Amino acid sequence: MAVSERGPRERMVFSAAQLIRRDGVTATGMRDVAAHAGAPRGSLQHYFPGGKEQLVNEAVAWAGRYAAGRVARFLAALSEPTPSGLFAEMVRQWTDEYRASGFEGGCPVAAATVDCAQSTDSTRGAAADAFARWTRPVAEALTDMGVPADRAESLATLMISALEGALLIARTERDERALTTVARELGPLLDASAQRPSQGG
Amino acid sequence: MAVSERGPRERMVFSAAQLIRRDGVTATGMRDVAAHAGAPRGSLQHYFPGGKEQLVNEAVAWAGRYAAGRVARFLAALSEPTPSGLFAEMVRQWTDEYRASGFEGGCPVAAATVDCAQSTDSTRGAAADAFARWTRPVAEALTDMGVPADRAESLATLMISALEGALLIARTERDERALTTVARELGPLLDASAQRPSQGG
DNA sequence: TCGCTACTATGACCACTGTCATAGCGGCAC
DNA sequence: GTGCCGCTATGACAGTGGTCATAGTAGCGA
């Protein structure tokens, strides 16, 4: 991922997301973002006249779109899609990263929430949008797999919640145990909900 | 809660936890902590010669003890303890707070993880300890309710993960929906695991 | 050449941070 | 009294943050 052959603007948004998910919003400086993106510092005020707030919000939005895109790709890759299979893939993306590159980063949306939900309302809204954009394809996928429509959204929220929480624990422990645990424990519940709902399962 | 008739040291640790869970670690200044605790600024360097790092770590540890204590109190209050009942109480603590005081704060341990897991290893360790101290009484309670020992810890991790993730979403949405959703969806799974494992009962 | 626009380049400003140095106070021991 | 100790009180310092002001460059149309 992270092809550097985009415009400098997009590179800065991407770099912001990377640094935010590693260090948090407040600890990430604008100068750091420019340096990480290999972009000139002067471009910051040109592309983001709204300042850091705008940059952070765009990074959060980017993360939401990215997560949604991943869901679509997971579904395309699964020959026989099941709810537990989808969730396992969502988790595996993180265990893969942690195994390959260490437990450096978490979810940028979570970082923005913890860091700005109280102080910067626009960022809180951006994070809410990101979660919504991420939840939607998950819920739709569950529906396609036979989950009743009214439960699909709830289960999607549960999946994302469990994933986000497990990410926190995994980072503190520097161990993917929490991630694999939630995947294993939640799998049967998810698959059971995909039975055709003629009678309650 | 938050009786102010403790020593100034304890008050500062408590205030640090409050501010951290609202604004994040980096955005919380030492001067803010002293002011919030009604403690003299000069006491900071007296009680916390290790500086901000020490203060943050103690705040995180305090949060872990606090969460563990709450679990014990929930169990004592439940006349007929069930896994879903315990989880519902854990969630209800947050919905109560959010309904009473707004969606200002999250979990201090989560904030410290997002903000310091990469930069400050001692704080990462403190967060890991806090999660462990919180998980233990939950797992023990599940065991007492009939959950097999090998699953109890996994389910406790799942409960805390789902709670932490739902907290993030609830804060972004300024809506307790995510919290009530995970409680509702996870309840049956938890209770089903408490059947004596030989046969369902 | 001129003018206009998109973008880059720097230096400065001010607010603020964590930390330290130093000094002051109150009380207790003796 | 003197000495010591726990604690408080400030002021300063060096570093860093986001932001702004200003100037410079490259390209293009006319």
**Which whole-number Å values give the CA distances from A169 to A59, A123, B32, B33, B111, in the listed order?**
23, 24, 28, 26, 12
**Which whole-number Å values give the CA distances from B193 to A69, A179, B16, B83, B188, in the listed order?**
34, 20, 38, 9, 9
Architecture of domain A59-193: Orthogonal Bundle (1.10)
d(CA B102, CA B95): 10
For A151-186, the pLDDT digits (tens) are 999 999 999 999 999 999 999 999 999 999 999 999
* Average pLDDT rounded to a whole number, residues B120-140: 98
Least confident residue range of A32-41, A117-126, B16-25, B191-200: B191-200
Q: Nearest by CB to A169, which of B161, B171, B177? A: B161
For B36-59, the pLDDT digits (tens) are 999 999 999 999 999 999 999 999
Query: End-to-end alpha-carbon separation of chain A, Å?
Result: 41
- Report the pLDDT value the prediction gives residue A201, as an integer from 0 to 100: 36
Measured in angstroms, what separates residue A70's CA from nucleotide D3's C1'? 71
d(CA B89, CA A90): 29
d(CA A20, CA A13): 10
Distance from CA of A114 to the nearest CA of B (A): 6
Residue of B169, B176, B181, B190 to mutate, interface with A, max A Cβ within 10 Å: B169
d(CA B156, CA A122): 34
Domain ranges of chain B: 8-193
pLDDT at A68 over 90: yes
* Average pLDDT rounded to a whole number, residues A81-104: 97
Write down the CATH number for the domain with range B8-193. Answer: 1.10.357.10
Could you give the 3-state DSSP secondary structure of residue A148?
A: coil
d(CA B35, CA A199): 59
**Which whole-number Å values give the CA distances from B65 to A59, A176, B131, B153, in the listed order?**
35, 24, 10, 18
Distance from CA of B122 to the nearest CA of A (A): 10
